[in-house]
Chain A
Amino acid sequence: MKLETFRGRDLNEVFDAARRALGEDVMILRTDVERVGRTMSYVVVATAADHVERFRRRLTPQPLPAGRGRRPVVIALVGPTGAGKTTTAVKLALNPGIFGGRKVGLITLDTYRAGAIEQLGMFSEIADLPLEVVYHTGDVADAMKRLDRCDVILVDTPGHRPRSFEMQAELGALLDMIQPDEVHLTLPATLRVDLVAPLRQSLARLNPTHLLVTKLDEVPGEAGLADLALAADLPARWVGDGQEVPDDVRPATGRITATLGALRGAA
């Protein structure tokens, strides 16, 4: 999606310039005022309307799967270290607006990071959520069986370490056994946009199906959020926008679309 920036001292002239460049159905994403000394000019960020609609459609996820037969719906969170996967998993499990009254269980594959199991365990213990720890592929079948009374299983994974091929292979093998219905690429909103594509490439083995952006509260004006989404090119179901568990997780599509005007890197 191509966004263009138009500037001028007269707002009507700026709008006309945008219409001439992008057509009559131009979508104005943001209007702002720039002051340089005593000089004031208007700044308009715009794109073609059908681009926005294409972006919104790409971002909109399909309805949550119903689960295969009696198998719970399984959703895995993958992504770089520090993205907030563990905290997000707990928010998703307990926020009543996410899965309604469905019973949720947790699996953690993160047996590497110091304190990872205990972090998840503290929340799961308070909230009475069943938690399984899976160390090897041989543990998967029994763990899934012990959680078979759950309607939804959330899978927390270790942070991605690009230089550890062995760890990536192990994680891939574990997820192959678990067969999640959705794999959410979890990225912090503070991530540089140019890192998204290589990250997605290095995580391709894990077959991410969705994007989940976290830490929106750490980015002023949520600028660049749509940039990240464009670069990831995945549907997005949720975003995380704070540290309060379980409140700070919201639906993604409208939130990301609304930030189209607050792009980093628009010309």
Chain B
Amino acid sequence: MSLQLGNFRRYMERRPLLLSPQPAREPVLVVGSGKGGVGTSTLASLLAVVASERGSRVLLVDADASVGSLHLLFGVGAGAGLGALRDGETTVADLLVSLSDRLTLLPGGGEPGELGPAERQALFRRVASLYVDYDLVVVDGGSRLESVRSACASAAGRVIAVTTADRVSVAATYALIKALGERFPATPVDLLVNREDAPTSEVVAAEIREASRHFLHQQVGLAGFVPDDLCLPAGVVAGMSLADAAAGSPAALAVQAVASHALHQLTAAIPAFVERHHYRRS
């Protein structure tokens, strides 16, 4: 980091906190992880499917800046990507893909590295302007901190941090929680342990939550546990739609509980169109 930027960062850290009103956040759930391959995209997709089947109008957003894969899970084409918005003719609505009468997808796409982080985040603000049209927005922030932060910067109501039990994933999840806590101290983070049995999940969750409480002074909630489910990926690979592959699967059943809990937390904490006060730096 340049000296100028470092001095600036230190200046911002010294500025006093002031109360100031902030606009209400829409019910936006960001699903992210510190390490790839833990099932973030699948879980984000399942959450969206489950919520839509329960009657909510859901927007599922692929915000993964590296390789967005949600379109593969749903068997639709890759989108043009946020970069298409630069042409002055494409609108965000043009990028949306309707998956059902209650589920809409904004797929990832475009060339990797096409957009720098700041430009990506600025274009993501345009996506966020659509959130008001949905009951729930699920954002797949992927496993890169930059993507998760971009997703959170555009009105995240809550974050679900996905982990598995392997030590690298646990460490990366802790790092993600720390980074999000520093940047978005007012955004609650819930932990979801994927692909593990209940006893292992409980141990992993307890470790991470206790470490966050002790070292980071951050309270991390618990979104739930999702068991390993070989039928689900097999069904998708065989060409089934995610909704069909997940129907009745142990993973989908567990995700239903996660979705209920998340929706309840979101709508309880973020009444629509009501301004609330929270601390921010002036």
Contacts and interface: CB of A to CB of B under 8 A. Distances in A.
Contact of B129 (A115, A123, A133, A146): A146
B121 A118 contact: no
B269 interface: no
Given A128-B280, A246-B11, A138 B88 contact: yes
A177 interface: no
Nearest to A121: B118
A120 interface: yes
Interface string B168-195: 0000000000000000000000000000
B7 interface: yes
B116 interface: yes
B111 interface: no
Nearest to B1: A122
B139 to A, nearest CB: 18
A245 B122 contact: no
A50 interface: no
Contacts, number: 76
A146 B18 contact: no
Interface in B122-170: 122-123, 125-126, 129, 153
Given A135-B88, A244-B4, A244-B7, A121 B280 contact: no
A131 B118 contact: yes
B119 A101 contact: no
Give the size range of B's interface with the partner. 20 to 34
Nearest to A138: B88
B121 A125 contact: yes
Given A118-B117, A121-B117, A139 B122 contact: no
B223 to A, nearest CB: 26
Most chain B beta carbons < 10 A, residue from A120, A122, A145, A247: A122
Contacts of B214: none
19 contacts: A94-B12, A101-B18, A117-B122, A118-B116, A118-B117, A121-B121, A121-B122, A122-B118, A125-B117, A125-B118, A126-B5, A126-B9, A127-B281, A130-B125, A131-B121, A131-B125, A138-B89, A146-B125, A245-B7
Interface of B: 4-5, 7-9, 11-12, 18, 20, 23, 85-89, 116-119, 121-123, 125-126, 129, 153, 280-282
